[in-house]
Amino acid sequence: MKLKEKINKFKERGGILTIQRYAVLEYLYKNRTHPTAEDIYHSLKEKFPTISQATIYNALELLKTRGLIQEITIERERSHFDYENKPHYHFLCRKCGHIYDIDIKECPLLGKKTVNGHRIEELRLYIIGTCSECLKNNLGERK
Protein backbone atom coordinates (compact mmCIF):
# COMPACT_ATOMS: atom_id res chain seq x y z
CA MET A 1 0.00 0.00 0.00
CA LYS A 2 1.28 3.43 -0.87
CA LEU A 3 2.16 5.97 1.79
CA LYS A 4 -0.64 8.34 0.78
CA GLU A 5 -3.21 5.54 1.10
CA LYS A 6 -1.99 4.70 4.61
CA ILE A 7 -2.15 8.35 5.61
CA ASN A 8 -5.75 8.53 4.37
CA LYS A 9 -6.64 5.35 6.31
CA PHE A 10 -5.05 6.80 9.44
CA LYS A 11 -7.11 9.96 9.13
CA GLU A 12 -10.28 7.97 8.34
CA ARG A 13 -9.74 6.02 11.57
CA GLY A 14 -9.66 9.26 13.55
CA GLY A 15 -5.90 9.70 13.74
CA ILE A 16 -4.28 13.08 13.91
CA LEU A 17 -1.19 13.06 11.71
CA THR A 18 1.51 15.02 13.50
CA ILE A 19 4.79 15.73 11.76
CA GLN A 20 6.50 13.15 13.99
CA ARG A 21 3.96 10.42 13.18
CA TYR A 22 4.30 11.22 9.50
CA ALA A 23 8.09 11.03 9.80
CA VAL A 24 7.91 7.58 11.45
CA LEU A 25 5.47 6.24 8.85
CA GLU A 26 7.51 7.69 6.00
CA TYR A 27 10.69 6.18 7.45
CA LEU A 28 9.08 2.73 7.55
CA TYR A 29 7.80 3.21 3.99
CA LYS A 30 11.28 4.08 2.71
CA ASN A 31 13.17 1.55 4.88
CA ARG A 32 11.65 -1.90 4.43
CA THR A 33 14.43 -3.45 6.53
CA HIS A 34 12.30 -4.11 9.64
CA PRO A 35 14.00 -1.45 11.79
CA THR A 36 13.81 -1.23 15.56
CA ALA A 37 12.43 1.81 17.38
CA GLU A 38 16.03 2.72 18.19
CA ASP A 39 16.99 2.58 14.49
CA ILE A 40 14.12 4.91 13.65
CA TYR A 41 14.96 7.26 16.52
CA HIS A 42 18.65 7.58 15.55
CA SER A 43 17.77 8.20 11.92
CA LEU A 44 15.04 10.78 12.59
CA LYS A 45 17.10 12.53 15.28
CA GLU A 46 19.27 13.97 12.49
CA LYS A 47 16.26 15.62 10.85
CA PHE A 48 14.37 16.39 14.09
CA PRO A 49 16.98 17.15 16.80
CA THR A 50 14.34 17.67 19.51
CA ILE A 51 12.48 14.39 18.88
CA SER A 52 12.48 11.99 21.83
CA GLN A 53 12.53 8.23 22.02
CA ALA A 54 9.17 8.38 23.79
CA THR A 55 7.69 10.18 20.77
CA ILE A 56 8.97 7.42 18.48
CA TYR A 57 7.58 4.66 20.72
CA ASN A 58 4.23 6.44 21.05
CA ALA A 59 3.97 6.98 17.29
CA LEU A 60 4.82 3.33 16.59
CA GLU A 61 2.26 2.13 19.12
CA LEU A 62 -0.47 4.35 17.65
CA LEU A 63 0.31 3.31 14.07
CA LYS A 64 0.30 -0.33 15.17
CA THR A 65 -3.01 -0.11 17.06
CA ARG A 66 -4.59 1.63 14.06
CA GLY A 67 -3.55 -1.34 11.91
CA LEU A 68 -1.16 0.56 9.66
CA ILE A 69 2.08 -1.21 10.61
CA GLN A 70 2.99 -4.39 12.42
CA GLU A 71 5.32 -5.12 15.27
CA ILE A 72 7.63 -8.09 14.82
CA THR A 73 8.75 -9.79 18.02
CA ILE A 74 11.02 -12.35 16.40
CA GLU A 75 13.85 -11.46 18.78
CA ARG A 76 13.38 -11.68 22.52
CA GLU A 77 15.37 -8.53 23.31
CA ARG A 78 13.74 -6.06 20.91
CA SER A 79 10.88 -5.43 18.54
CA HIS A 80 11.14 -4.60 14.88
CA PHE A 81 8.54 -2.78 12.81
CA ASP A 82 7.19 -3.51 9.36
CA TYR A 83 5.42 -1.11 7.02
CA GLU A 84 3.66 -4.04 5.38
CA ASN A 85 0.70 -5.01 7.53
CA LYS A 86 -0.92 -7.64 5.31
CA PRO A 87 -0.43 -11.21 6.59
CA HIS A 88 3.02 -12.53 5.78
CA TYR A 89 5.84 -14.27 7.58
CA HIS A 90 9.35 -13.34 8.61
CA PHE A 91 12.69 -15.11 8.41
CA LEU A 92 15.49 -14.15 10.81
CA CYS A 93 19.03 -15.05 9.84
CA ARG A 94 21.02 -16.15 12.90
CA LYS A 95 24.29 -15.23 11.18
CA CYS A 96 23.77 -11.68 9.86
CA GLY A 97 20.64 -10.69 11.81
CA HIS A 98 18.64 -9.58 8.77
CA ILE A 99 14.89 -10.12 8.75
CA TYR A 100 13.29 -11.04 5.45
CA ASP A 101 9.64 -11.08 4.41
CA ILE A 102 8.52 -14.55 3.40
CA ASP A 103 5.43 -15.04 1.27
CA ILE A 104 3.86 -18.38 2.14
CA LYS A 105 0.42 -19.01 0.73
CA GLU A 106 0.11 -22.64 1.85
CA CYS A 107 -0.55 -21.98 5.56
CA PRO A 108 -3.92 -23.59 6.35
CA LEU A 109 -4.80 -20.81 8.82
CA LEU A 110 -4.26 -17.87 6.46
CA GLY A 111 -7.53 -16.05 5.89
CA LYS A 112 -9.39 -18.03 8.56
CA LYS A 113 -11.27 -16.23 11.29
CA THR A 114 -11.48 -19.17 13.70
CA VAL A 115 -9.68 -22.40 14.50
CA ASN A 116 -11.27 -25.12 16.66
CA GLY A 117 -13.86 -22.59 17.81
CA HIS A 118 -11.23 -20.00 18.84
CA ARG A 119 -11.28 -16.56 17.21
CA ILE A 120 -8.00 -15.76 15.43
CA GLU A 121 -6.98 -12.15 16.03
CA GLU A 122 -3.37 -12.34 14.95
CA LEU A 123 -1.28 -14.95 13.17
CA ARG A 124 2.50 -14.89 13.50
CA LEU A 125 5.00 -17.27 12.01
CA TYR A 126 8.69 -16.69 12.49
CA ILE A 127 11.27 -18.76 10.71
CA ILE A 128 14.83 -18.75 12.04
CA GLY A 129 17.83 -20.09 10.18
CA THR A 130 20.61 -19.01 7.83
CA CYS A 131 19.82 -16.75 4.87
CA SER A 132 20.89 -17.48 1.31
CA GLU A 133 23.53 -14.71 1.37
CA CYS A 134 25.23 -16.12 4.45
CA LEU A 135 25.08 -19.60 2.93
CA LYS A 136 26.76 -18.30 -0.23
CA ASN A 137 29.51 -16.73 1.87
CA ASN A 138 30.01 -19.95 3.87
CA LEU A 139 28.76 -18.32 7.05
CA GLY A 140 26.12 -20.99 7.49
CA GLU A 141 28.43 -23.95 7.98
CA ARG A 142 27.99 -25.80 11.24
CA LYS A 143 31.08 -26.70 13.20
- Domain boundaries, given as residue ranges, for the chain: 3-73, 87-136
In the chain, pLDDT over 70 holds for what percent of residues? Answer: 96
Mean pLDDT of all residues belonging to the chain = 90
pTM value is: 0.85
Rounded distance between C-alpha atoms, residue 13 and residue 68, angstroms: 10
Q: How wide is the angle at C-alpha 3 spanned by C-alphas 61 and 18, nearest 5°?
A: 50
CATH assignment, 87-136: 3.30.1490.190
What is the reported pLDDT for 108?
Answer: 74
The second-level CATH assignment, the architecture, of 3-73 is Orthogonal Bundle (1.10)
Nearest to 32 by CA among 61, 3, 63: 3
Residue bearing the bigger pLDDT, 20 or 115 = 20
Q: Which residue has the higher pLDDT, 104 or 11?
A: 11
Average pLDDT over residues 112-120: 87
| DSSP three-state, residue 125 | coil
pLDDT digits (tens, 9 = 90+) for 89-103: 899 999 999 999 987
Which pLDDT band, with edges at 50, 70 and 90, does 143 fall under?
very low
Whether the CB-CB separation of 109 and 115 falls below 8 Å is answered with yes
